[in-house]
Amino acid sequence: MDSSSLVDLQPLARMALLGILIALGPLAWVWARTRGADRSRRRHALTLLTLFLTFDLVLFGAFTRLSDSGLGCPDWPGCYGSASPVGARESIRAAETALPSGPVTHAKAWIEMLHRYLATGVGVLIIAMTALAWQQWREQRRRAQRTPIHAAPFTSPWWATATLVWVCIQGAFGAFTVTLKLYPAIVTAHLLGGLALLVLLAVQAWGGRGEPVGVSPALRRGMVAVATLAGLQIALGAWVSTNYAVLACTDFPMCQGRWWPAMDFEQGFALLRPLGVGAGGGWLPFEALTAIHMAHRLGAAVLLAALAALAWRLSRRAALRRFAYGLVAIALWQLASGVSNVVLGWPLAAALGHTGGAAALVLLLTALMMRGVATEHTELDLVELERGRTEIKGAEARSRRPGAVPARGTL
């Protein structure tokens, strides 16, 4: 195949049809589960399911990269111009015979195409979500004109529209990942784009649900700082993966038997260069890979400390304690899976678990940011207020017990 035919749009219609067929299953399931329910419940169920499938898609994307299947089909959107590896079997066999351990084999072609099919299916579900969101918006507007009372919790349809635009951009990055031969900056952007898609879906799935919890401006700023650090750390992690820098250090906590090994940050963090290519056009030096690996470790130390501090602050508030437990669990999981990647020689389960942990962290921080809204009060006031409310509730519950003497202050 010459490079001029890397993007063959002919199979696009067939891929779109396949996407619709794949999406029909989840759509039928949502419609069956919400039969007789209003549009808002149906939209919520569809958003939750799309969020779940997108989480799986992020993991499957990591599996595609980890199994070296990213170039399993070297063109886009089809495989050697065909909508499935079945139609491309002759070309795949020829490539596999020429280079048995090369990037193209039957198994790798299937893994790559399954990732594309799942992504197309998610795209179709997002189109359905967007259509439902605008329908619901029109319905609510009509109802509000008739009875101008406060409508039920409702997320603006622009969120769904933004998600649709984003998934198209994400598809384009998927295409560039293949046609630009795993260019690290593009693959990194593709991973970050997948996580951003999770955030967009989570905002719609959880928006307007659950009682908001007032937090002091200082705690709110702490949440924003931790979310920013998490974003940076995830970008550093993606840079490790897409440059295949995982085995630059095979020991922990030291690297190559030293606390500060030889490192070349300038070449390691030159963002615009093809995979494995150094400044002068030769191979990327090992010191550059070491710098990439070590930057992620140092970032991890900072983020883990910040997560611990935020979890400690959250644990003092009963209404946010679950988030504190979640943050500690994910931090420990990231540490264990990250260290396993290094000392156990990069097992697939640890690498997938590490990606899953990062995606879970993104979701948990999104949920926390949506829940904790800033108020004028200090954290101490809010803790006291919450303690008072809990005590009143307890006293009320006790006084309702048969034969109980009413608690002081509840009469």
Chain residues that interact with ligand HEM, rule: CB under 6 A: 62, 66, 191, 230, 233-234, 237-238, 240-241, 246, 252, 296-297, 300, 303-304, 331, 334-335, 338-339, 341-342, 351, 354-355, 358, 361
Strand partners, 373: 214
What is the sign, positive or negative, of the torsion defined by CA atoms of 353, 358, 363, 368?
A: positive
* Cβ closest to ligand HEM, residue 7 vs residue 335: 335
CA dihedral 210, 214, 216, 221 (to 10 degrees): 30
Contacts of range 79-87, beta carbons closer than 8 Å, 24 or more positions apart: 79/109, 79/112, 79/113, 80/1, 81/5, 81/8, 81/10, 81/11, 82/11, 83/11, 83/14, 83/15, 83/18, 84/113, 85/109, 85/110, 85/113
Cα gap 39→30, rounded to integer Å = 11
Q: Among this protein's residues, is 391 annotated catalytic?
A: no
CA angle, residues 73, 79, 84, in degrees to nearest 5: 120
* Cβ closest to ligand HEM, residue 84 vs residue 233: 233
Query: Tokens 């979640």 correspond to what residue?
Result: 326
Cα-Cα end-to-end distance for the chain: 84
Cα gap 160→47, rounded to integer Å = 9
Residue 127 CB, nearest approach to ligand HEM (Å) = 27
Residues in the chain: 411
Residue 105 CB, nearest approach to ligand HEM (Å) = 20
The three-state secondary structure class of 8 is: strand
Residue 235 CB, nearest approach to ligand HEM (Å) = 8
Distance of CA 219 to the CA centre of its chain: 24
DSSP state of 7: E
What does R_g of the chain's alpha carbons equal in angstroms? 25
Structural contact between residues 292 and 244, judged by C-beta atoms closer than 8 angstroms: no
* Cβ closest to ligand HEM, residue 18 vs residue 230: 230
* Cβ closest to ligand HEM, residue 62 vs residue 289: 62
Structural contact between residues 308 and 324, judged by C-beta atoms closer than 8 angstroms: no
* Cβ closest to ligand HEM, residue 88 vs residue 284: 284
Nearest CA-CA partner of 187 in 68, 338, 67, 70: 70
DSSP state of 81: T
Residue 287 CB, nearest approach to ligand HEM (Å) = 17
* Cβ closest to ligand HEM, residue 300 vs residue 363: 300
The three-state secondary structure class of 127 is: helix
Residue 385 CB, nearest approach to ligand HEM (Å) = 32
Residue type present at position 128: A
Structural contact between residues 361 and 334, judged by C-beta atoms closer than 8 angstroms: yes
Dump strand ranges (E) for 104-195: none
Cα gap 13→36, rounded to integer Å = 34
Q: Which of 112, 139, 211, 376 is catalytic?
A: 112
Residue 233 CB, nearest approach to ligand HEM (Å) = 5
Residue 379 CB, nearest approach to ligand HEM (Å) = 24
* Cβ closest to ligand HEM, residue 110 vs residue 239: 239
* Cβ closest to ligand HEM, residue 30 vs residue 263: 263
DSSP state of 103: S
The three-state secondary structure class of 404 is: coil
Residue 246 CB, nearest approach to ligand HEM (Å) = 4
Question: Which residue numbers are catalytic?
Answer: 112
